[in-house]
Chains A and B, each alone.
Chain A
Amino acid sequence: MRQTLSFIVNGEKKTLELDGWEKLLEILRDKLELTGTKCGCDDASCGACVVVVNGKAEKSCVFPIAKLQGAEVVTIEGLGKGRELHPIQQAMIDGGAVQCGYCIPGIIMELYALFTKTPDADETEITNALSKHFCRCTGYESIMKSALLAQKYMR
């Protein structure tokens, strides 16, 4: 069913005509060309597509379109300012967490939501948040190290 969607993406108001089958993931990737948000699975299990909706980390592959009207969405493209990286992005590089890079946007957005709300999240909270995300490359050690580094950078 065709419908019109108005919402805010990375600070800009967008109004789109939808065919009815698109999920937030496809809206971002196919309609708005924000391809930094990735698709890694088909049953909301891998976390690669996580974006921030109204301050919360959400899987864009299953987020209900009905709740998107008027919502505020932040994607990986909305974090840095031109050549200036967001501290979480910088921490991912400095902590050696980047390998293939496919899971990284989702992980950064998860941490962005967590640290915006809870800047002093402890390791258990960080682990719980990141346990929704799959990474095949790193074994997670460098991701945790980068998350802790990001907290420092954001202080």
Chain B
Amino acid sequence: MRFIVNIVVVIRIITEEVEVKYKYVGKSIKRPDAVKKVTGKAQYLDDLKLPGMLYAAILRPEYAHAKIVSIDISQAEACEGVVKVVTGKGCDFKYGDNIRDLTPMAVDKVRHIGEPVAAVVATNKYLARQALKKIIVKYEPLPVYIQAIDAMKKDAALIHENSGDYWHLPGLGPKPGTNIANYYKLNKGDIDAGFNDADAFAEAEFNFPLGSCAAIEPHGSIAWFHEDKTIEIWSSSICPFIIREEIARVYDLPESDVRVHIPELGGCFGYKSDITVEQTIAWIASFVPGHPVKWVATRKEDFLSTLLGHGMRIRMKVGAKKDGKLTALQTTVYHTTGAYSDTGVHVSIAAGHNSAGTYDFPNIFQESYLVYTNTPPVGAWRGYGHPEGQFAIERLMDILARKLKMSPFEIREKNYLGPGKTSSLGERMYTANGDVRKCVEIVKKAVFEKEKPAEDDKYYYGRGFSALMKTPKGAPFSSKGCYMKFNADGSVSINMGGAEVGQGLRTVVRQIAAESLKIPPEKIRVYTEIDTQFSPWEWQTIGSMFTLQGGMAIVKAAARAIAMLKKTAAQVLRVEEDVLDYDGEYVFLKNDPDLKIEIQRLVRGYMYENGMVAGEVVQTTADGRLPRYSGADPETGQGTMGVSYTFGAQGCEIRIDKKTGEIIVDHFASSFDVGKVINPEQIRGQITGGVMMSLGATLYEEVKFDGDGKCLNPHFSKYRFPNIKDSPKKYTIECVETPEAIGPFGARGIGEHPVIGVASSVLNAIYDAIGIDFHEIPVTPEKIKKALADKSSKQ
């Protein structure tokens, strides 16, 4: 019996600060959307039906890199139920919000196997798919590149011939005449001096292959070009405002004439960010104005025609003194970013500068090559570069420890970032950034305190450990907005632009608002769908930033609302505002609490007996952002690009089946300094889910391509997705609470963090079990068996 449930959900919280008593924050309040979800009434994209709706199916190419010679749509046009057949002919724009290299439908060539070549719009999805088979396309195949290192070779054919002409954000952009879509470098100190100073070195190449976020809800969109020239879009996306901006730009409309709705989302994990399929569906819908056009990805399309994750080879070298003090880090990231680079560029940059992990390296030289390949484009995958870069450093720290004959804990202990140190980005660390050592102690105690079981007939046993660090990866304008409205009965409606993807954002909104307003959560109604016509602006819900930034927006909006209540009350009570207090029910005189006014009598202004009204309606707006966030300095690659840091530690106990090579994770421990736990049950759910997702990447999952760029496993029956039998039988989860200076009630985010230290912990445990160093994932039973056979043949 592998699966034994840990029934008791307890999160022990370590707090050394003076205990602050919160009424609603820190409690496992239930999700406001739970009933709709368990009754099947939550409306996801594919559940929407609009009047006059048509359905699109999209043709994908037979080659991963080819010129399109001709497309014959005549037979498809004659099929039953077909309203329109669309190709990329005449499409003269590109899109993207970082490097504008994407095209809604292939125009003269295809660059990967999931690219849209043509589409059929029909009266139902079955007829649309049937007619697709009648489209005849002639191709002239071109050389195919699957790996970044191959596409970088001098004689490689260009995947984008005119990449030098593409618009891009300042500081980013392709190197014309090559397949390099972006190059980023970071310099801290003097790398040569750092290595000269070192007594010991560790060096290796690591591979974090392509994977899929694989939310259970596939991506999809509905686009509707209205007769009045406005455009309406529905999408299973977390970026309504980016979609609005980009659709408005390419169709030359005021942004206010594009309305984007986000219904309920069935998971995201990264790949539903940025603008991707929406431009394709809009392009298709533009040929049938007056009709909403719906498209939902098949699972195969969700793998190959949305975004993949990872695709990184990382060469890393570290140097240290005899006493274990680190002197230098050199990292080179080769990022197989796929056929388009817009969505991958910041992932490769983040993988680079975060590859220093939790350590204080005085000297760093880091390069990230973002390289066009003939694979589907890579975008965000939970952790955004952190899991990849820190997979490398956390494996190397164990290897370096062995060289220096130290324990993995000892070498790390000598080098942790903390108050007074500077990160790779040059940001100074303070106490408010949290305490990695406390997290380490928790994991060490949970995993390493007892003796490891001795090898037996059936199993090898191993234990592994990793420290980790997460920064948000924001942008200078990455704000979250909050509209707060007091209702006549004293209840409150809150409207924000943050996407609930399952992470529990709505519960967090409710709890932070309740705490800020001193009003019970039942009286706080949180928004459901996002609609750019009504929702406040938000950049996009990414980077584990919502709790921090969105939370601060709520705290600010609440303070403004309370100030308005007091201002009206001061007028009525004929006192100054500063002698008034507020408790969620009344505004009252501090020195004479009996002199009070119910907030219900203030929220729409105070009405005197004669019907005259004084004061304003209480509805406020506010936003929250990362203070002093900046882009990278072109010379050093450094900048205030982290702002808020979160530290943590993870560790595991594993067994390796001697006969099958199967790795069984018996116990997985995680500890993060989250600043403040808003909701213990939800945080546990985030951590168990993140650990499981990353165990999938570590042990099972890889999207594989053959040499022609065709995918070998774009279906769940072939892509080994973890199920309940793969779940660790025991989790240790304990959070540390060192308050974040800029977070609501001291809180930081947690969404991505649980995935970061998993692969390195498991691979460190594999070494502990069998003395073999793996440098790439997934570590499948076959790879274990082969490595064990190789090892015994050498002995």
Chain A contact residues, CB within 8 Å of chain B: 19, 21-22, 29-30, 33-46, 48, 75-77, 79-80, 85, 89-90, 92-94, 96, 98-105, 108, 123-124, 127, 130-145, 148
B299, A40: Cβ atoms under 8 Å? yes
Which of B37-45, B137-145, B171-179, B511-519 lies at the binding interface? B37-45
B429 → A minimal CB distance (Å) = 31
Q: List chain A residues, Cβ under 8 A from B31.
A: 93, 98
Q: How far is the CA of A100 from the CA of B504 in the complex (A)?
A: 8
Q: How far is the CA of A139 from the CA of B681 in the complex (A)?
A: 13
Q: How far is the CA of A38 from the CA of B503 in the complex (A)?
A: 20
Q: How far is the CA of A90 from the CA of B37 in the complex (A)?
A: 11
Chain B contact residues, CB within 8 Å of chain A: 1-7, 9, 28, 30-31, 33-44, 46-47, 49, 124, 126, 213-218, 264-269, 296, 298-300, 501-504, 681-682, 684-685, 688-693, 715-717, 721, 723-725, 727, 731
Q: List chain B residues, Cβ under 8 A from A100.
A: 37, 215-217, 265-268, 501-502
B5, A145: Cβ atoms under 8 Å? yes
B727, A140: Cβ atoms under 8 Å? yes
B723, A133: Cβ atoms under 8 Å? yes
B688, A142: Cβ atoms under 8 Å? yes
Q: How far is the CA of A34 from the CA of B47 in the complex (A)?
A: 9
A152 → B minimal CB distance (Å) = 11
Contact of B502 among A37, A90, A94, A101 (CB under 8 A): A101
Can you list 28 contacts pairing A with B, beta carbon distance less than 8 Å? A36-B41, A37-B40, A38-B46, A38-B217, A39-B46, A39-B296, A41-B299, A41-B716, A42-B299, A76-B38, A77-B40, A93-B34, A100-B215, A101-B38, A102-B44, A105-B38, A105-B40, A132-B723, A133-B724, A136-B267, A137-B502, A137-B685, A138-B692, A139-B685, A139-B692, A141-B727, A142-B685, A144-B724
Q: List chain A residues, Cβ under 8 A from B504.
A: 99
Q: List chain B residues, Cβ under 8 A from A139.
A: 685, 688-693, 727, 731
Q: How far is the CA of A30 from the CA of B127 in the complex (A)?
A: 14
Q: List chain A residues, Cβ under 8 A from B43.
A: 35
B213: nearest chain-A partner, CB-CB: A136
A43, B724: Cβ atoms under 8 Å? no
A77, B721: Cβ atoms under 8 Å? no
A98, B216: Cβ atoms under 8 Å? no
A104, B685: Cβ atoms under 8 Å? no
Q: List chain A residues, Cβ under 8 A from B36.
A: 101
**A45-B717, A92-B38, A145-B9 provided; 16 other pairs, C-beta below 8 A?**
A30-B124, A43-B715, A77-B41, A79-B39, A89-B35, A93-B31, A96-B684, A100-B266, A100-B268, A101-B33, A101-B42, A101-B266, A102-B44, A127-B724, A131-B723, A148-B7
Knowing A38-B266, A141-B5, A148-B5, say if A136 contacts B38 (CB, 8 Å): no
Contact of A102 among B28, B267, B721, B725 (CB under 8 A): B267
B535 → A minimal CB distance (Å) = 20
Q: List chain A residues, Cβ under 8 A from B213.
A: 136
A36, B40: Cβ atoms under 8 Å? yes
B6: nearest chain-A partner, CB-CB: A141
B727, A101: Cβ atoms under 8 Å? no
Q: How far is the CA of A103 from the CA of B59 in the complex (A)?
A: 28
Knowing A38-B266, A100-B502, say if A136 contacts B723 (CB, 8 Å): no
Q: How far is the CA of A99 from the CA of B266 in the complex (A)?
A: 9
Knowing A41-B715, A48-B216, A131-B725, say if A141 contacts B502 (CB, 8 Å): no
Knowing A40-B217, A100-B217, say if A75 contacts B126 (CB, 8 Å): no
Q: List chain A residues, Cβ under 8 A from B717.
A: 43-45
Q: How far is the CA of A92 from the CA of B723 in the complex (A)?
A: 18
Q: List chain A residues, Cβ under 8 A from B689.
A: 99, 136-139
Q: How far is the CA of A40 from the CA of B721 in the complex (A)?
A: 13
A136, B681: Cβ atoms under 8 Å? no
Main SS at interface, chain A: loop
A75, B35: Cβ atoms under 8 Å? no
Contact of B716 among A46, A79, A127 (CB under 8 A): A46
A134, B38: Cβ atoms under 8 Å? no
Q: How far is the CA of A148 from the CA of B5 in the complex (A)?
A: 9
Q: How far is the CA of A19 from the CA of B599 in the complex (A)?
A: 60
A123, B685: Cβ atoms under 8 Å? no
B267, A137: Cβ atoms under 8 Å? yes
Q: List chain B residues, Cβ under 8 A from A136.
A: 213-216, 267, 269, 689, 693
B688, A138: Cβ atoms under 8 Å? yes
A45, B266: Cβ atoms under 8 Å? no
B504: nearest chain-A partner, CB-CB: A99
Q: How far is the CA of A92 from the CA of B689 in the complex (A)?
A: 16
Contact of B721 among A22, A79, A124, A134 (CB under 8 A): A134
B300, A42: Cβ atoms under 8 Å? yes
Q: List chain B residues, Cβ under 8 A from A103.
A: 216
Q: How far is the CA of A125 from the CA of B309 in the complex (A)?
A: 35
Q: List chain B residues, Cβ under 8 A from A75.
A: 40
Q: How far is the CA of A29 from the CA of B394 in the complex (A)?
A: 48
Of listed A44, A80, A99, A127, residue having the most chain B CB within 10 A: A99
Q: How far is the CA of A144 from the CA of B723 in the complex (A)?
A: 12
Q: How far is the CA of A102 from the CA of B220 in the complex (A)?
A: 14
Q: List chain B residues, Cβ under 8 A from A135.
A: 216
Q: How far is the CA of A99 from the CA of B30 in the complex (A)?
A: 11
A144: nearest chain-B partner, CB-CB: B5
B38, A141: Cβ atoms under 8 Å? no
A140, B39: Cβ atoms under 8 Å? no
Q: How far is the CA of A93 from the CA of B502 in the complex (A)?
A: 13
Q: List chain A residues, Cβ under 8 A from B37.
A: 98, 100-101, 104
